[in-house]
Amino acid sequence: MRTYAYARVSARDQNLTRQIEAFLAFGIERKNIFCDKKSGKDFDRSGYLRMLSRLKAGDLVIIKSIDRLGRNYAMITEEWRRITKKLQADILVLDMPLLDTRGKADNLIGKFISDIVLQVLSFVAENERENIRTRQAEGIAAAKARGVRFGRPPKQYSEQFRETVARFLKKDISLAQALLETGLKSSNFYYHAHRCCEK
């Protein structure tokens, strides 16, 4: 029997350290820890697929929390069944010790409790994500209604820049002179000159 661990974060700028340290403290060899920096919207993740290709009946998969497996109720429960039923491996969720299939194949009550906890936690995880999205959308709508503008604030152009643009447009100075005065390349100068005139 081999023990593997799977860590995932949703974006490249997020950190896997906390999950990996938990696995190492549990005694898992570093070579048996598989990681992805990718959304949990599907299972097309290189680290996860490499781990699955090694899984044999009787092996153990450890994850830090249930939402590291997937991001919606149907996906999590389907993948849980694939690992435990089809591949006949076990799963342990460190943050929720009730989600531990080891030794429960012949223990009907233990398996029943584990399945119920999985269903509830998967539903709660998905429901919380939906609530967060709803709250974000409501917050953005309310802010827009109050006149809050999103994105970068509009660039403020100095009087000197405006004067240079005005002189260039009147053909009082050449493009070369305008570029010298503003320190811009021609493409940037034309872009900002256009924006400046819009204001």
| 3-class SS letters over 145-169 | HCCCCCCCCCCCCCHHHHHHHHHHH
Q: Is the dihedral of CA 123, 126, 130, 132 positive or negative?
A: positive
pTM (2 d.p.)? 0.58
- What is the model's pLDDT at position 68? 87
* Alpha carbon distances (Å) from 87 to 29, 61, 176: 22, 11, 70
Please state the rounded mean pLDDT for residues 133-137.
83
- Measured distance CA(53)–CA(18) in Å, rounded: 25
Q: At what angle do helices 175-182 and 186-198 cross, to 10 degrees?
A: 80
Residue 194 has pLDDT above 80, yes or no: yes
* Alpha carbon distances (Å) from 154 to 100, 157, 158, 182: 54, 9, 13, 19
Contact call for residues 47 and 16 (beta carbons, < 8 A): no
Nearest to 102 by CA among 93, 86, 32, 116: 93
Nearest to 35 by CA among 3, 4, 7: 7
Catalytic residues: 10
- What is the model's pLDDT at position 96? 83
Residue 155 has pLDDT above 80, yes or no: no
- What is the model's pLDDT at position 104? 58
Residues present in the chain in total: 199
Contact call for residues 186 and 175 (beta carbons, < 8 A): yes
- Measured distance CA(9)–CA(12) in Å, rounded: 8
Q: Which domains does the chain have, with CATH numbers?
A: 3-130 (3.40.50.1390), 159-198 (no CATH)
Q: Which residue has the higher pLDDT, 134 or 64?
A: 64
- Measured distance CA(79)–CA(33) in Å, rounded: 18
Per-residue pLDDT band for 17 (boundaries 50, 70, 90) equals: very high
- What is the model's pLDDT at position 18? 92
Residue 111 has pLDDT above 70, yes or no: no
What tens digit of pLDDT does each residue of 64-110 get?
Answer: 988 888 777 778 888 888 898 899 999 999 988 878 888 755 556 65
Residue 199 has pLDDT above 60, yes or no: no
- Measured distance CA(199)–CA(185) in Å, rounded: 21
Q: Which of these ranges, 7-11, 14-18, 74-78, 185-189, has the smallest mean pLDDT?
A: 74-78
